[in-house]
Amino acid sequence: MQAFRKTGGVLNPSSVIATTDEDGSPRTAPFGSLHALSESKLRAVIHRYHDTLKNIHRDGRVMISLISPPDIAVSVKGVARVAEEPWSVDPRYAIVEIDITEVKNDMPMQIGIETGISISATGPFQEWWAACWEKLSEDE
């Protein structure tokens, strides 16, 4: 879980969250806002009109994949719930908390990871992300 314990407002390593659409189809989306509050709880910022949030409202089961150099590949199973919607920092977003039910090490033994998903807040979004980060990491 250390890879999710980000400091200083960093977005990386980024993760992919999988949810299930209404018809049972899998839905995935990358997120840089996942942050570990503890060994058993993650928090994320999700746009209120994103399919991921809609799916969490209906069925809180999620699977998160994290791949990060040099040697992290994990799958995290959990149950997500909306903690704040609309979010006080930006009403276009919601805060989701994920109670972790299982962590699986998916790292192959004989290879290394050279790159992962890397994202950044650019331009006017840097200030926005700084405000988001402060609120996202509260209550640690």
In the chain, the number of structural domains is 1
Per residue in 66-105, pLDDT (tens digit) is 988 888 899 999 999 999 999 999 999 999 999 999 999 9
Q: How confident is the model at residue 140 (pLDDT cuts 50, 70, 90)?
A: low
Structure confidence at residue 20 (pLDDT): 97
Q: How confident is the model at residue 1 (pLDDT cuts 50, 70, 90)?
A: low
Report d(CA 48, CA 23) in Å as an integer: 20
Q: Which residue has the higher pLDDT, 4 or 15?
A: 15
- Cβ atoms 76, 16 nearer than 8 A: no
- Cβ atoms 15, 64 nearer than 8 A: yes
- Residue numbers of the domain that contains 107: 2-136
Per residue in 9-62, pLDDT (tens digit) is 777 788 999 999 999 999 999 998 888 999 999 999 999 999 999 999 999 999
pTM, to two decimals: 0.89
Q: Is the dihedral of CA 110, 13, 114, 16 positive or negative?
A: positive
Per residue in 102-129, pLDDT (tens digit) is 999 998 878 888 888 788 888 888 888 8
CATH number at residue 21: 2.30.110.10
Structure confidence at residue 27 (pLDDT): 97
Structure confidence at residue 112 (pLDDT): 86
- Cβ atoms 60, 10 nearer than 8 A: no
